[in-house]
């Protein structure tokens, strides 16, 4: 019994152990891995994926999936950039509305929430599988991005917005602040609130949740709204870092997010997993990307290795849940 308990404790920390081992190996093999610069570099690089993955975790915990986050990121980034640069002008009414940076960020995030609401509404109202509903949104949001930008990047957004993407505050990069705060809030919400408990209950057994009086439909909608808002925050960060909104930003980001969630031990069938696991998953991917670059591995091989890591993580996870 004691050995079994030890083992399950070990299993809980498997991603942490994997991350530690990777860091150890890279420290020994790559000269400039274990430096402060590189440390912040890795965290900054993963911050967008962390934002998206947190939302993805919430969705996957309810046994759903959100494929639209990459496109939502692009559209909201474009809206943010467009409003900042051009504002809203209605010539017929002789009206022009200008935006502050704060204003455009709020507007962008609200747009993300609205797109997420459409996802949640179609899924809960018409019983469309989340895979299909968000696949449709993936295509539509990308189309709107192209329409709103005309297919060209929106550039020259100024230093204030740029600060969010490239600035430092108290010795920590801004994107790391933002993603860190999001993670903290998400951990509290999932582990310490009724809303979080309901998310797990819905993913664990939707029928039982409904029969316990949990407002399943409402909570599912909120989860997609949050996923959309978090994708939009990712869009703001990308736009701010590049000082431009690219119409093809965020392509295949949903897959990176799903990878982080899965490596972090969250079950795609819902009800099992954690935000902390997802963050570790995102870190593993980040360190892997970073390490492979530092080791000068060809980008083609990088993809192969990333795929293998996902596979191994899930296989280990399955083996663990069986032995439970």
Partner 1 sequence: MESILKVENITKTFSGVTALNKVNLKLSGGKVTALIGENGAGKSTLLKIMSGIYTDYEGVITFKDQPTRFAAPKDAQDSGISIIHQELNLIPNLTVAQNIFLGREVINELGFLDESNMNQKTKALLNRLKLEVEPDEMVSSLKVGQQQIVEIAKALLTESEVLFMDEPTSAIGESEVKVLFKIIHQLKAEGKSIVYISHKLDELFVLADEFVVLRDGQVVGQGEMNQISRDKLIGMMAGREINMTGKSERKISDERILQVQNLNLKNPQNPQRPILQNINFELRKGEVLGIYGLMGAGRTELCESLFGLRGRLSTGTITLEGRKIYFHSPGQAIESGMALVPEDRKKNGIVPDMSVAENISLTVMDKVTKLGLLSEKLQSKLYDKYVSSLRIKVSSKNQFIRNLSGGNQQKVILAKWLERDPKVLMLDEPTRGIDINAKNEIYELITRLASTGISVIMVSSEIPEVLAISDRILVMCEGRITAEFSSEEATENKIMNAGIPENLNE
- Residues forming the site for partner 1 (CB under 8 A): 1, 4, 188, 191-194, 197-198, 200-201, 204-205, 207-215, 271-272
Query: Closest CB to partner 1 among 85 and 210?
Result: 210
Query: Closest CB to partner 1 among 188 and 295?
Result: 188
| CA-closest candidate to residue 233, choices 47, 98, 16, 22 | 47
Query: Closest CB to partner 1 among 40 and 121?
Result: 121
Query: Closest CB to partner 1 among 37 and 324?
Result: 324
Query: Closest CB to partner 1 among 91 and 213?
Result: 213
Measured CA to CA, the distance from residue 102 to residue 109 in angstroms comes to: 11
Q: Among positive and negative, which fits the CA dihedral 299, 305, 307, 313?
A: negative
Closest separation in Å from C-beta 94 to partner 1 = 47
Closest separation in Å from C-beta 212 to partner 1 = 5
Measured CA to CA, the distance from residue 34 to residue 24 in angstroms comes to: 9
| CA-closest candidate to residue 80, choices 250, 221, 223, 224 | 250
Closest separation in Å from C-beta 182 to partner 1 = 18
Closest separation in Å from C-beta 202 to partner 1 = 9
Token output for 48: 């967008």
Cβ atoms of residues 22 and 290 within 8 Å? no
Query: Closest CB to partner 1 among 41 and 205?
Result: 205
Could you give the angle at the alpha carbon of 242 between the alpha carbons of 231 and 282, nearest 5°? 45
Measured CA to CA, the distance from residue 294 to residue 176 in angstroms comes to: 21
Could you give the angle at the alpha carbon of 113 between the alpha carbons of 156 and 180, nearest 5°? 70
Measured CA to CA, the distance from residue 251 to residue 70 in angstroms comes to: 6
Query: Closest CB to partner 1 among 3 and 94?
Result: 3
Closest separation in Å from C-beta 173 to partner 1 = 30
Closest separation in Å from C-beta 211 to partner 1 = 6
Closest separation in Å from C-beta 225 to partner 1 = 19
Residues in Cβ contact with 99 at an 8 Å cutoff, skipping those fewer than 6 apart:
83, 84, 87, 107
Closest separation in Å from C-beta 157 to partner 1 = 37
Query: Closest CB to partner 1 among 3 and 252?
Result: 3
17-22, long-range: CB within 8 Å, 24+ apart, which pairs? 18/284, 18/313, 19/280, 19/283, 19/284, 19/287, 22/284, 22/287, 22/288, 22/291
């Amino acid at each position: 019994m004691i050995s079994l308990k030890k083992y399950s404790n070990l299993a809980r920390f498997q991603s942490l152990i994997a991350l530690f081992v990777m860091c150890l190996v890279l420290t020994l093999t790559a000269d400039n891995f274990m430096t402060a610069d590189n440390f912040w570099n890795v965290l900054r690089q993963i911050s967008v994926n962390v934002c998206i993955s947190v939302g993805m975790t919430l969705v996957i915990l309810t046994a759903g999936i959100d494929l639209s986050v990459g496109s939502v990121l692009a559209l909201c980034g474009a809206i943010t950039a467009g409003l900042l640069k051009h504002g809203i002008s209605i010539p017929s009414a002789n009206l022009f509305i200008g935006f502050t940076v704060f204003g455009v960020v709020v507007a962008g995030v609200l747009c993300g929430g609205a797109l997420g609401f459409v996802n949640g509404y179609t899924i809960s109202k018409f019983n469309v599988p989340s895979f299909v509903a968000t696949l449709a949104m993936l295509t539509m949001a990308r189309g709107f991005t192209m329409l709103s930008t005309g297919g060209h990047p929106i550039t020259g957004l100024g230093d204030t917005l740029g600060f969010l993407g490239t600035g430092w505050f108290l010795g920590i990069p801004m994107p790391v602040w933002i993603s860190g705060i999001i993670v903290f809030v998400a951990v509290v919400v999932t582990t310490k609130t009724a809303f979080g408990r309901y998310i797990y209950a819905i993913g664990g057994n939707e029928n039982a949740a409904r029969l316990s009086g949990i407002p399943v439909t409402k909570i599912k909608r909120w989860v997609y709204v949050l996923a959309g808002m978090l994708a939009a925050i990712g869009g703001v960060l990308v736009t701010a870092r590049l000082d431009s909104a690219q119409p093809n930003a965020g392509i295949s980001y949903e897959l990176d997010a799903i990878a982080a969630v899965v490596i972090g031990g969250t079950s795609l069938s819902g009800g099992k997993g954690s935000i902390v696991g997802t963050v570790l998953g995102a870190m593993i991917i980040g360190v892997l990307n970073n390490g492979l670059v530092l080791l000068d591995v060809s980008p083609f091989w990088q993809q192969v290795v990333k795929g293998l890591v996902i596979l191994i993580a899930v296989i280990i996870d399955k083996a663990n849940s069986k032995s439970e």
